[in-house]
Homo-oligomer: A and B are copies of this chain.
Amino acid sequence: MKPTIYDVAKEAGVSIATVSKVLNSNGRISDKTRRKVNQVMERLNYQPSMVASALTSRKTGTVGLMIPDIANPYFAEVARSFEDNAQKLGCDIIICSTDRDDDRAERYMSLLLRKRVDGLIIASHTGSPELIRRMLSDRVPLVLFSADIRSLESNSVSIDDYKGGYLATEYLLSLGHRNLGILSDNLPGSELRVQGFMEALEAGGISFDNPDNLIRTSATLENGRTAAVRMLSQTAGKRPTAIFACNDLLAIGVLKEARQFGLSIPRDLSVIGFDNTLLAEICHPSLSSISQPVHEMARQAMQLLNEEIEQEGAPKRKVLLMPELVVRHSTGPAPAAGV
Contacts and interface: CB of A to CB of B under 8 A. Distances in A.
Interface of A: 47-52, 54-55, 60-62, 69-73, 76-77, 79-80, 83, 90, 92-97, 108, 110-111, 113-116, 221, 252, 255-256, 259, 278-279, 281-284
A50 B83 contact: no
A71 B62 contact: no
Contacts of A279: 278-279, 282
A47 B83 contact: no
A47 B109 CA distance: 11
A101 to B, nearest CB: 12
B80 A113 contact: no
A249 to B, nearest CB: 8
24 contacts: A49-B55, A50-B114, A51-B55, A51-B60, A51-B115, A52-B55, A55-B55, A71-B80, A73-B73, A73-B278, A79-B95, A80-B97, A83-B96, A92-B94, A92-B95, A92-B115, A93-B95, A94-B94, A95-B95, A221-B281, A255-B284, A279-B279, A279-B282, A283-B283
A115 B48 CA distance: 9
A274 to B, nearest CB: 16
Contacts of A73: 71, 73, 76, 278
A95 B65 CA distance: 11
Contacts of A116: 49-51
Contact of A62 (B49, B72, B115): B115
Contacts of A48: 114
Report the copy number of this chain in the oligomer.
2
A256 to B, nearest CB: 7
A106 B239 CA distance: 56
Contacts of A96: 83, 92
Nearest to A90: B111
B62 A70 contact: no
A191 to B, nearest CB: 26
B47 A94 contact: no
A76 B71 contact: yes
A278 B79 CA distance: 18
Contacts of A51: 51, 54-55, 60, 115-116
B115 A50 contact: yes
A9 B70 CA distance: 40
A96 B94 CA distance: 10
Contacts of A255: 284
Contacts of A95: 79, 83, 92-95
Nearest to A115: B50
A44 B62 CA distance: 25
Which of A49, A95, A255 has the most chain B CB atoms inside 10 A of its CB? A95
A42 to B, nearest CB: 13
